[in-house]
Amino acid sequence: MPAPHDDDEEALSHNLLLGPRNVLPYVERSGEAYMSQQQLDHFRLILNTWKRDLMEEVDRTMNHMKDEAANPPDPNDRASLESEFALELRTRDRERKLIRKIDEALIRIDDGSYGYCLENGEPIGIKRLEARPVATLCIEAQERRERREKQYGDRDDWYR
């Protein structure tokens, strides 16, 4: 049997919570306007690709759980299986929340607000959006929020 390709191993080990697979960064052209149609199309592609990958992972998990759903007679095997399922379900829940953020970002692309900070209206920046395509805050606003959370334990997204 042939050895798996490095690309195959990377695709299987890639954490989709960190970003989509196999998307090249946007190369800005000099004099190009911020959030030009080409940039919006690039980020729409990233977001749709990321969402598709996440949805495929959800389907893969559901199939895996159905296939492995047998109730093993050994208590240790059953505990291991339940622990594995719990971990997978927690990961899928995080991915479900991320899919919601991706959908919100796609709406912002359509309404023209994508790429601009929700707090102060400043551009978020291409490089930041490449790193986190669902970002809604510029670096300064995000740093303020993180300092506030650290200082006061104030998380405004706990109930979302």
Q: Which among 115, 158, 124 is positioned nearest to 143, based on CA atoms?
A: 124
- Residue 86: band (very low, low, confident or very high) from pLDDT cuts 50, 70, 90: confident
pLDDT, tens digit (0-9, with 9 covering 90-100), for 10-44? 444 567 777 777 778 888 888 999 999 999 999 99
pTM across the whole model: 0.76
At 103-122, the pLDDT tens digits run: 999 999 999 999 999 999 99
Domains of the chain by residue range: 34-152
Mean pLDDT computed over 52-65:
82
Segment (H or E) for 1: none
| 128 vs 84: CA distance, rounded Å | 34
Q: What is the pLDDT of residue 157?
A: 54
34-152 — its CATH code? 1.20.120.910
pLDDT at 28: 85
Return the beta strands (E) in 74-155 as ranges.
none
Amino acid at 148: R
28 neighbors 123 (Cβ within 8 angstroms): no
